[in-house]
Structure 1
Amino acid sequence: MTTIHRLLATALALVATAAGADTWPSRPITFIVPTAPAGSTDIMARMVADPLQRALGQPIVVDNRPGASGNIGTEAVARAAPDGYTLLMQYSGYHVGNPALFPQIKWSPTKDFLPVAMVMRAPHVVAVSGKVPAGSMKELIAYGRKKEGGLFYASAGNGSIQHIAGELLARQSKQPMTHVPYKGSGPAINDLIAGNVDMFITTPPSVIGHIASGRMKALAYTGSKRHPSMPDVPTSAEAGLPGYEVESWFAVFAPAKTPPEVVAKLSAEIRKIVESESFRRKVDEQGAFATYMDSAALGRFVEQELASWSKVIRAADIKPA
């Protein structure tokens, strides 16, 4: 191929890419969620998908692909065509925790994805089954020390932030605990309500309704201050665990090499949603905080989080199984 032919081929490819970006979206979009239905990641995907599909004029299908601590769904997006029609609603525990926990994973949080936008940040809540005879963290720890096998705590999978949060709590409280991993928050919540496990340290959106109904009890909020939607729930420090702060975030990512015009359009539309009064009110009601970050800011934040959580995981000697 001559130099002229190569230049023409490159020019045509650029034109085709630009044309594709200009007409995007022309068909339905899939939001892959690497967790089971009913968890915070699933709730957030649906809260964003509904207004986003109206803004873009195309249906958005939420596709739950739980398993392997989020690696199944995450890898599916990493390997998807970079055309803007397959996106990832990601949970921070998977995106910045899994690389340190699972050295053999087949995806990279920085090489295989383009950050699109952050949508929510959420400190966790220490939720216990309504059947647990404890109304405070002090009473829970005392109960666990008397209970055979100690406290049984649920997580959305080995290596999830919920798993890490439980290990950190066990170390800080010097409390024996047994980790029970599930394929997402939904199954964990069902077993917590049934009393099959004692505790679930998770983001509020997936449990706040059950707390209000009395099927669960919230003993501590792992933020630096109380949340307006749960004014009676003490912070970790107020509950006797100073320094025990755990926060998750949720963000949209696209496969690497997705056209920048598509990423920019997505990010701009998501910003309108996240900064809207209706979205902020819904997130506030869920015990979390609507938080927008654009692609560049989210990319920098991911790098910081990767370094931070890697240190936490190593320091606590947390293993995936």
Structure 2
Amino acid sequence: MTIRTSRRALLGAATLATPAIAWAQGSLAGRTITLVVPSPAGGGTDFSARLVAEPLGRALGATMVVENRPGGNDVVGLMSVLRAPADATTLLCGYCATMTARPAIGGIGEIQPIRDFQAVGVITDTPQLFVTHPSVPANTLQEFIALAKQRPGAMNYASAGIGSMHHMGTEYLKHRVGIDLVHVPYRGTGETIRDLIAGRIQFYMNSPPPLTPLVRDGQLRALCVSSNERHPGLPDIPSAAEQGLPDTGLNVWFAVFAPRGVPAAQVALLSDKLQEVLADPGVRQRAFDAGALVAPSTAAALTDRVARETESWRQIARTANITAG
């Protein structure tokens, strides 16, 4: 028996199949994607998310919105992503400390980023900026260290909570150079900066974007950047290596993650499109102007980095006696 199918029927079948094929290839066109920032507005995570949200949504043919969901050392935001459907419509803008340092000291409960999230790619990767209030009589990192040794326990430093890069990085610095600073945790960068400008905080380290404008306006004093080389966007600020502290390894990075269970095709699509967005000169310039350095990466490279840095922080925490409690 011969079965004849009309050209119109074949075209109709192809038309009906197209959405299914596109979905199988990971398409997110026409959908609304929420990029969750698990911290308040105004910090480095928020900056990085908003840097890529609009162009990434456009590249995907989707609408991407940024939603701040702070609380519980970022646990509130992380759980909101993990509880969402695993269809790539809810993603995480992850902060390096949340994804590596906090887990290393048990600071985010039962969440295990290596197990619970899939890496998409890095957005920015930038040395931290060490700053003080201008009233502190120290113009360089070495002068600040000398002052702190003269006044053990008399000066304080701020962080965004236990296990944040500000906390872990400063505790590492304290242990390495032998100084005593009092830890003052805050709920977000905005609150921290207000007290820093007011002179209630003496020392702070963070990624440059929220601090650079304040340094340029003279409201804060920059001591150095936490790298062996000077930051290309902040050429007048010395590196930590120039200040006698090489190989600090305190870069701050922010990256996109999908919850475990999102299909591999969608993760691959997100990763490819994110790298395309970060290659755009306009996006790179906006980051650079704020003091951040764009650093595209593959999903595989980010996966390896999370595992490597988690173990590194675990070793540092043991050496410096840093705990989540």
Does TM-score exceed 0.5, indicating one fold? yes
Match of 2:277 among 258, 273, 276: 273
How far has the Cα of 1:109 moved from its partner?
0.8
CA separation of 1:78 and 1:277: change in aligned 2, threshold 3 A: same
Is the Cα–Cα contact under 8 Å of residues 31 and 61 in structure 1 kept in the other structure? Answer: yes
Matches within 5 A, 1:272-311: 272-311=276-315
Kindly name which structure, 1 or 2, has the bigger radius of gyration based on alpha carbons.
2
Deviates more, 1:99-108 or 1:264-273: 99-108
- Give runs of aligned pairs for residues 217-256 of structure 1, distance below 5 A: 217-256=221-260
Aligned counterpart, 1:95: 99
Other-structure match for 2:119: 115
Letter in 2 for 1:185: T
SS in 2 for 1:227: coil
Report how far residue 286 of structure 1 moved. 2.8
Q: Determine helix, strand or coil for the equivalent of 1:68.
A: coil
Correspondence for 1:154: 158
Give the Å deviation of 1:86: 0.5
**Structure 1 residue runs without a partner (length 5+):** 1-14
RMSD of the TM alignment (CA)? 2.1
**Residue of structure 1 equivalent to 2:7:** none
Query: For the Cα contact (< 8 Å) 1:150–1:175, is it kept in 2?
Result: no
Distance 1:17 1:315 in 2: 53
What is the distance in 2 between the residues matched to 1:280 and 1:203? 16
Cα gap change, 1:22/1:223 in structure 2, threshold over 3 Å: closer, same or farther? closer
1:8-27 → structure 2 map (5 Å cutoff): 19=23, 24-27=28-31
Other-structure match for 2:202: 198
Tell me the equivalent position of 2:130: 126
Residue-by-residue CA offset, 1:163-191 (whole Å, 9 max, x unaligned) = 01111121222221001111122221221
CA distance in 2, matches of 1:159, 1:103: 6
Q: TM-score, normalised by structure 1?
A: 0.89
Shift of 1:16: 7.4
Q: Which residue of 2 aligns with 1:76?
A: 80
When normalised by structure 2's length, the TM-score is 0.88
* Contact 1:75–1:106 (Cα < 8 Å) also in 2: no
Identical amino acids, percent of aligned pairs:
36
Q: Distance in 2 between matches of 1:113 and 1:56?
A: 21
Q: Which runs of 5+ in 2 are unaligned?
A: 1-18
> 1:260: which partner in 2?
264
Distance 1:215 1:33 in 2: 27
The answer to whether the aligner puts 1:42 opposite 2:46 as a matched pair is yes
SS of the residue 1:308 aligns to: helix
CA deviations 1:97-149 (Å, max 9, x no partner) are 11121267132112211111111111111111233232112332333345573
Name the amino acid aligned to 2:305.
F
1:5 paired residue number: none
Q: Aligned equivalents of 1:187 and 1:314: distance in 2?
A: 30
Which of the numbers 66, 72, 93 marks the counterpart of 2:70? 66
Equivalent pairs, count: 307
Structure 1 residues 141 and 104 mapped into 2: Cα distance closer, same or farther (>3 Å)? closer
